[in-house]
Amino acid sequence: MQIETTAVQALREHEHGAVVPPIHLASTFRLNPATEDGPFAYQRGANPTRAQLETVLAAIEGARHGFAFASGMAATAAALGLLSHGDEVILSATVYGGTFRFVDQVLPGRGVTGRFVPDLGDLTEEDFTPATRMVFVETPANPTLRITDLRRIAELAHRHGALVVVDNTFMTPVLQRPLALGADLVVQSATKYLAGHSDLLAGVVTTDRDDVAEAIALAQKALGGVLSPIDSYRLIQDIKTLPLRLGRQQANTVAIAEHLRGHDAVARVLTPGSHDDVEAAVHDSQASGPGAVVSFELAEGVDDVAFLRALTIPAFAVSLGGVESLICRPATMTHEAMTPEDRAGAGITDSLLRLAVGIEHEDDLIADLDAALAAAR
């Protein structure tokens, strides 16, 4: 089935013939006294509603295993938690600020080293050491939208026995399937496009590897950062409209990016593949669209604070992927954990703005951007 159908039909049979799944709120479940087991025992370990969501998550990813966490960072932490003392993970310098903070401030206490490189596209055999056990990839990168060739990275990393983890939050399985391209794990902040309404936190890990799935399941149970039954139910329902929402958001974004490129008050516009023709070709080969985020810088003499204040539709706020448009300044908001030097190396300037486009009408969004640009001159 196509993902539009899978998103709706991954769960078909429910109690009493209901067309939506029930919510099981119980924290504990009756067990068989003779065997002391049962399909469910305690909510942290497993819950029927979360189990149904995890079935949906695996189905839309085309994966064998899916896991739901209480936030995107909880999912990312579980994936990075596969590393042990003495291990090293290689990441792009443009990685999401929350991931940077975890690798920079938490992993060293566990004896794990994070090595940030300017461009994963330049990674070669010589960059791997015996300690390199993982490569963590965002493509498109946040917020520069740089592209990494997932097939190439997977082949390179696997030759050195390293896992490949892909943060697929920006693309979702609607637009990109990293597991099919060679990745070992996919993480997503389901808070973003999968939930799509800026009203819940959730994270996802999917994998085809049974050994990795066993380790992620242990992380769920041992650390306890699992998604609640109510939020699991809500995410099941939200995913049903994911392809429709993202399709509208992407169409809006394509129109806005084209308009901004032709505006004399805008100095630079970043979209997936805009860095060069090589990255454009790679993205076209591994993804089926550009997604719904565009980053840009205003021209010299255009007041960015006045521009942000004049906007009436996009809210000045962190996050992305909701039905409403949001705009932020990554250097001081999503990536504030990075030093100015780290941000400079990653190409995240203080003037860079990231627009996450919603489902509003494109004419209204463009008119609002034009009015704000005019007010900022």
The CA-based diameter of the chain, rounded to the nearest angstrom, is 77
Would you put residue 358 in left (φ > 0), alpha (ψ -120 to 50) or beta?
Answer: beta
Pick from 56, 61, 54: nearest CA to 183 = 61
Catalytic residue among 133, 177, 192, 248: 192
Q: Environment class of residue 46 by beta-carbon count within 10 Å: exposed (0-12), middle (13-18) or buried (19+)?
A: middle
First to last CA, the chain: 51
Q: Is residue 368 flagged as an active site residue? A: no
Catalytic residue among 50, 96, 245, 329: 96
Q: Where are the alpha helices (DSSP H) in the chain?
A: 3-9, 48-61, 72-80, 97-101, 150-159, 172-175, 210-223, 229-239, 242-261, 277-286, 304-310, 340-346, 362-375
Spatial CA neighbour of 190 closest among 181, 198, 182, 178: 198
Of these residues, 167, 184, 208, 238, which one is catalytic?
Answer: 167
234 is catalytic: no
Q: Is 167 noted as a catalytic residue in this protein?
A: yes
Closest Cα to residue 67, out of 277, 220, 281?
220
Question: What span, in angstroms and rounded, lies between the C-alpha atoms of 373 and 99?
Answer: 33
In the residue annotation, 42 being an active-site residue is answered as no
Q: Which residues are catalytic?
A: 44, 96, 167, 192
